[in-house]
Amino acid sequence: MRRQTKDDHTMNNTLRRTVIGAALLAACAVSAPVPAAQAVTKCTDIGNGQLCMLANAGNPATASYRKDAGGEVTVRLGFQVKGASPVHWDAGFFKAYVRAEPWYYTWRDNGVSKGVSYRAVLHQYGGNTWYSAWATP
């Protein structure tokens, strides 16, 4: 019986890695692709700006408000799930004024589910309430 040399050992390890690598590639080639999360943003023009809802399945709910005209207003952002009456509000009222960047609020403890509809809510202190269009990921 022939004794195994260092060259034989190197060749066996190389062959073993090649076979394992080929098997892994073959397994990946036949496995189904994982669908990417579908992010949906729906915005509504509310006269002095835009109110938007970002719904991305598996991620937190995010509402935004971009003020394009008018004076400073005190508002708060929220979101609502279709078929459920409560509004999930942000941390509290804030002063909104015309600026290039919108105000955002993300609810870290409220994940978005695929196939469920969400909308942003903007409430003016002592005044009106506006709603974005429904966003369904």
Residue 24 in any domain: the answer is no
Question: Which pLDDT tens digit goes with each residue over 15-60?
Answer: 333 333 343 334 334 434 445 558 999 999 999 999 999 999 999 9
Extract the tokens encoding 91: 């941390």
Q: Is 101 a member of any domain? A: yes
0.75 surpassed by pTM: no
Domain containing residue 88:
39-131
Return the number of other C-beta atoms located less than 10 Å from residue 104's C-beta: 14
CB-CB neighbours of 87 under 10 Å: 17
Residue 82 is assigned to a structural domain of this protein: yes
66 part of a folded domain = yes
Q: What tokens does 130 get?
A: 């506006």
Q: What is the pLDDT of residues 49-70, one digit of tens each?
A: 999 999 999 999 999 999 999 9
Helices (H), 5-117: 6-30
Q: What is the DSSP annotation of 118-132?
A: EEEEEEETTS-EEEP
Based on the structure, what is the number of domains in the chain?
1
Stated as kind and residue range, the H or E segment containing 89 is strand 87-89
Instruction: Give a yes or no: residue 57 inside a domain.
Output: yes
| CATH number, domain containing residue 99 | 2.60.40
